[in-house]
Amino acid sequence: MTPAVQITREESNNNLIRAWEPGRVRIGENWLTGNLIVTAEMIVSDWSLTNPARLTIDDLTPALETHPELVIVGFGTEPAPPDIDLMAELAQLSIGLEFMQTPAACRTYNVLVHERRRVAAALIQNLSST
């Protein structure tokens, strides 16, 4: 098993991602598996996707309901190709969209939460789930 990547040890009332392993993340003291959306204030641990390899704006509804300025999509350890059409849809709503590998998405999310930015991390742990 791949050792956990420690992300942060700082104390906060916000949902910070403390560690990541393939297929799961630790938020606070809890390890969460499966696809999830996390913001500073909420966690959607039962995030279901129509087709994880091809996100739609409807898939991102739980994240968008939090009125983020940026949504970060983590796609595991594989390079994540940007979806230009989805980026354009969110840009019309004044919301940025970034695709990256999950460890980088977790680190970026934590930095932005510390900066008190409105950010949502949509972490796809299982590309084959529906």
pLDDT recorded at residue 52: 77
pLDDT recorded at residue 8: 47
Task: Dump pLDDT digits (tens) for 4-34.
Answer: 655 545 556 799 999 999 989 999 999 999 9
Instruction: Kindly give, in sequence order, each residue whose CB lies less than 8 Å from that of residue 129, ignoring residues fewer than 6 positions away.
Output: 34, 35, 48, 49, 52
What's the whole-model pTM score? 0.86
The two structure tokens encoding residue 121: 């991390």
* The dihedral formed by the CA atoms of 92, 56, 77 and 112, expressed in degrees to the nearest 10: 40
- Tokens 């989805």 -> residue: 86
Domains (ranges, CATH) in the chain?
Answer: 33-123 (3.40.1230.10)
Task: Dump pLDDT digits (tens) for 84-107.
Answer: 999 999 999 999 999 999 999 999
Element holding 98 (H helix, E strand)? strand 96-100
* Higher pLDDT, residue 78 or 3: 78
Q: What is the mean predicted confidence (pLDDT) over 45-69? A: 91
Amino acid code (one letter) for 63: A
pLDDT recorded at residue 127: 65
CA 58 to chain CA mean position, Å? 15
